[in-house]
Structure 1
Amino acid sequence: MNGSQEILILSLGPVFRNYVHGGSQKILRDVAVYLGKSNNVTILCNRRRDNKDTFMLGENVTVKPILQFKETFPEAYNAPPYKLAFSREIIKNHVTKSDVVYMHDAGILFHDIFDDVPLVISPRDFLYPETLLGVLNFKRDKMIVTTQYMKDCVLALTDSVSNLENKIEVIPNGVNSELFHYKNPSSLRNELGIKDTVTLLYPHRTPTKGLPFALEVTKRLISEGMNVALLIPNYIDSLINEDIKNTYKILKKTITAWNLDSYVFIHDWIPQERMPEYYSLGDVTLCLGTFPESFGNVTLESLMCGTPVVASKVAAQREVIPDSMMPKVDPFNVEEMTNLTKKFIANKPDLRDVRQYILDKYNYVNMLEGYSQVLRSFGTRIKNTQSDNFSHSFLKIAPWCYLKNDGIYNDYTENTAYPDIAVAFANGDRVSYNSLKDLVNPKRISDALLEGFIRGSNA
């Protein structure tokens, strides 16, 4: 590819082979695949138990889930120090081989390792500590935001960067009209076991996006004699995160306490390609939370599929669609939420003008080309071309571990493991890598390094 760039994309959130983790990650996937048409793209994202193998997302787009931050967002830095140090070194190594770095969000806080490469960041929220610190410490080349709301927030709080306003590019999220349009939902309705009832959608990954209000609206509609089904997806992170899993346990208890078991359906995470069916299944989509959205993909996707949205006047949701086209409700005003939901159920609005507005203002191709132009503007540079081969001659027990009769104990993982490797240290505090790999499968050595039981050393 003549004139192509080596583009490094960094993400604290996961990038899956077959699933889309959320709205922000959907945009990341789309942008990366587009960039891969004329560049080599490498995505470094977080390693998780359910996502740890390198794969090709698209042509010339390699996804490496090898970073060692906390498995689920937020609190990404709530991880053992050796995992943070490992992540820093991995990123640093890849930076030296890249023409430009695009940080999807702003939460990679190892600022010094980007000194010699153009850096573009794109905060995807204005709430989580990692993102806020990244924005407040911004002193680099470009920042991409999705709305004027986000740009105004950044400018209101950051005044230490010369010419900051001109370094911020507003590139609205685009909606893929080839994917998001009405699609017959009969098959999905049968799979979910939903009868022909008034169907409310809560297609969000977190309760803070209005779940208590969605339940309250549902309860009020039922009390008025309406046959209602509220659909709630089981967030994919609940499979590996106990706190999120407990959130759903509490939710189920609340549903039972409110006598809503026959009306609320918690279902599996919906694959991205079936979301048009999901939106088309609904009579109303509920976006009732107080979460300060930086954009609000759900609103646009639902409207594109012909399903009206009841949304709170919170953050970017205030501006994404004009009030004249989509009336909104005040946060916490359950009566107003219920009344607007009833209005849409009784008389489904004609959304053709809204759809055209979205096609014009949130053009999918314009978004993709916008990111491409920003990154392409930095050109190419002289890069490191050395391989990533294992570079340590010796291995030692990590200082936060100690040798036991039955293995190696780790202060952070609070367990004992790798008895086969422990045997090699019986006669000294270090062993050569070559001698150890003659005794133990090299993958075991690699795993022990990743999990912090041993450390590399050249002395």
Structure 2
Amino acid sequence: MPMLERVAVVSIAPILPGVVHGGSQRILDGVLRGLADAGAEVRVVCSWRPENDGGFELAPNINIEPLLRLSGYFPDPWEVPPYQILQSAESIAPVFEWAETVYLHADTFYLRNLIPEGRRVVRSFHDFHYETALISAFGFDADITIVPSDYLKRCIDATVGATPGRSVGPVVVVPNGIDLQTYRLRPGVTPRGVRERAESDLVLLWPHRPDPRKGIVEAIEITGELVRMMPDRNVRLLVPRHVDATSSTETREFYDNAIQLATAGGVMDCLEFTPWWSDDETAGAYSFADVTLCPGNFIESFCLVAYESLACGTPVIAARVGALRDMRIPGVYTFDWNLPGGAPIEYLPLNGALISALGNDIDTDAVRTILKEDFSFEEMQRGYLAAITGDMPGAQEPSPESTSTVRFTIAPWCMARSPWVYNDYEYGWTRRDKLAEFLTIGGHHVLGRRAGGRCFTLEVAMEFGVTPEQVKQGLKDGVIIRV
């Protein structure tokens, strides 16, 4: 593997001493330490906050430099006075001059002209729906792009990769790694800021950052449902309060709204806010809980929460959205988010997922074996290191298939449940009747597989009863795509 000496890393999100904001920041921390362990000197440029003023050393050979005068708040980190962008550019240009390689973490960095010609540029995406990420993906190139899941790769290939005149470049999947030393069963631990368990307690955990699409409404509704289903149990809903609650009005409003929802639902006594925990404390919270909730319609590109919870022996209830549709690990009980009436009854509803999660114990050892084999933290570090050094085998740009036949497939961001189709980017269902029926049960009309979906021609769809107009409308609405 080629040796790296000087790596500049850009994180638009602020990095604070002793605090990890969320899943993407945990991955970044692992990547930085992997680079330093491989002998690189790492300078990390991030957004300024009073808490990180002056910078700090994260670990030996990893220096955090808060030189970006951006807001640090998503989804609008660049919404600042233009002179602050100028000041940021002037401050970070010398860092890029110093570096041999530039890594853009969760890439939303637009000042690409500051990177000198000839520097290797590697980026990662951890979402593909915020405006900032979409602009970076469609507007800028990189030597290689890292994504955490096949789902996210399929979405990028089907959109950026199909854009006329655009070359997406190599897109490689490096699954997020689960730190099994940190995330493990911790019996008898009571998390910081939480009262001890009583024998009748039924503890639900909603450990997400404050985005309504992460499912706080659904979590409160689930709490109310369990209160009615199990009157002899003391249902508790634990919600960590994000570190931004002290500095962001929008974040404070999120938790105020949660209080209003819980009050209106008659479960305010069940809602318990906790501190924003460290990784070790979060592992204890997973172990403390009976079920971890991931019930929203946020477009998850991986969902670290679900994997971490399983590593600690706690089952997960999750909506089938984004990459969670591909999750096939025992202990995850999924349901179709807000599925309209009239869909086939074999699809597990929310109540069924609840009953299954509460009535089945996880074989934690077996689950941890799966996580170690498929989602190793060390393998993730090695994967990022190989991509950043240019030593990743098979990282070539995909070549288009040569065929004269026009073929289609269901879009990677969609799921069919006849007569409905769910679209991640619409955050809901639309009725598609015959097209939805074909996409749901037309699996015997397979002409080959690409991008995770079955391919079909217009003629095959018409044989099933789908009209050309329905195919045309499906293309327009993003339900199906051309292969």
Q: TM-score range by the shorter chain?
A: 0.7 to 0.9
- 1:264 aligned residue (267, 271, 286): 271
Is the alpha carbon distance of 1:125 and 1:269 closer, same or farther for their aligned partners in structure 2, counting shifts above 3 Å?
same
Q: Tell me, what secondary structure is at the counterpart of 2:349?
A: helix
- 1:131 aligned residue (124, 130, 133): 133
1:7 match:
7
Read off the aligned partner of 1:57 and give its amino acid letter: L
Is the alpha carbon distance of 1:41 and 1:277 closer, same or farther for their aligned partners in structure 2, counting shifts above 3 Å?
same
Read off the aligned partner of 2:157 and give its amino acid letter: L
Read off the aligned partner of 1:269 and give its amino acid letter: W
1:304 match:
311
Q: Tell me, what secondary structure is at the counterpart of 2:9?
A: strand
RMSD of aligned alpha carbons: 2.2
Read off the aligned partner of 1:329 and give its amino acid letter: F
Map of 1:113-124 to 2, 5 A cutoff? 113-116=114-117, 117-124=119-126
In 2, Cα distance between the equivalents of 1:21 and 1:161? 37
In 2, Cα distance between the equivalents of 1:311 and 1:221? 16
Read off the aligned partner of 1:141 and give its amino acid letter: D
Q: Which 5+ residue runs of structure 1 have no aligned equivalent?
A: 379-459
Question: What is the Cα deviation at residue 262 of structure 1?
Answer: 1.4
Map of 1:17-416 to 2, 5 A cutoff? 17-37=17-37, 38-116=39-117, 117-159=119-161, 167-188=170-191, 191-196=193-198, 197-206=201-210, 207-224=212-229, 225=231, 226-319=233-326, 321-322=327-328, 326-333=332-339, 336-377=349-390
In 2, Cα distance between the equivalents of 1:136 and 1:128? 12
In 1, Cα distance between the equivalents of 2:295 and 2:115? 39
Read off the aligned partner of 1:354 and give its amino acid letter: V
Number of residue pairs the alignment of both structures matches: 376
Q: Tell me, what secondary structure is at the counterpart of 1:332?
A: coil
Is the alpha carbon distance of 1:210 and 1:151 closer, same or farther for their aligned partners in structure 2, counting shifts above 3 Å?
same
Identity of aligned residues (%): 28
Question: What is the Cα deviation at residue 165 of structure 1?
Answer: 6.8
Deviations 1:289-309 (A, max 9, x none): 111111110010000000000
Question: What is the Cα deviation at residue 208 of structure 1?
Answer: 1.6
In 1, Cα distance between the equivalents of 2:269 and 2:248? 27
Read off the aligned partner of 2:180 and give its amino acid letter: S
Q: Tell me, what secondary structure is at the counterpart of 1:151?
A: helix
2:415 match:
none
Is the alpha carbon distance of 1:123 and 1:87 closer, same or farther for their aligned partners in structure 2, counting shifts above 3 Å?
same
Deviations 1:237-274 (A, max 9, x none): 11111111122112212222222121110111011121
Q: Tell me, what secondary structure is at the counterpart of 2:28?
A: helix
In 2, Cα distance between the equivalents of 1:76 and 1:106? 12
Read off the aligned partner of 1:326 and give its amino acid letter: V
Q: Is the 8 A contact 1:221 1:338 kept in 2?
A: no
Deviations 1:203-260 (A, max 9, x none): 1012321111110010011012132101001011111111111221122122222221
Question: What is the Cα deviation at residue 53 of structure 1?
Answer: 3.0
Q: Is the 8 A contact 1:203 1:233 kept in 2?
A: yes
In 2, Cα distance between the equivalents of 1:198 and 1:369? 40
Read off the aligned partner of 2:145 and give its amino acid letter: M
Q: Tell me, what secondary structure is at the counterpart of 2:203?
A: strand
Read off the aligned partner of 1:84 and give its amino acid letter: I
Q: Would you identify which runs of 4 or more consecutive aligned residues in structure 1 move more than 6 Å? A: none
Q: Is the 8 A contact 2:102 2:121 kept in 1?
A: yes
Deviations 1:53-93 (A, max 9, x none): 31111110000122111132220111111111111222222
2:452 match:
none
In 1, Cα distance between the equivalents of 2:303 and 2:20? 16
Deviations 1:147-176 (A, max 9, x none): 111111111111359995761111000111
Q: Is the 8 A contact 1:194 1:229 kept in 2?
A: no
Question: What is the Cα deviation at residue 104 of structure 1?
Answer: 0.3
Q: Tell me, what secondary structure is at the counterpart of 2:354?
A: helix
Read off the aligned partner of 2:215 and give its amino acid letter: G
Q: Tell me, what secondary structure is at the counterpart of 2:276?
A: coil
Deviations 1:4-29 (A, max 9, x none): 42100101112121011100001101
Question: What is the Cα deviation at residue 48 of structure 1?
Answer: 1.3
Q: Is the 8 A contact 1:143 1:168 kept in 2?
A: yes
Q: Tell me, what secondary structure is at the counterpart of 2:98?
A: coil
Map of 1:447-458 to 2, 5 A cutoff? none
Bigger radius of gyration: 1
Q: Is the 8 A contact 2:6 2:101 kept in 1?
A: yes
Q: Is the 8 A contact 1:102 1:120 kept in 2?
A: yes
In 2, Cα distance between the equivalents of 1:90 and 1:302? 40
Is the alpha carbon distance of 1:150 and 1:243 closer, same or farther for their aligned partners in structure 2, counting shifts above 3 Å?
same
TM-score, normalised to structure 2, is 0.74
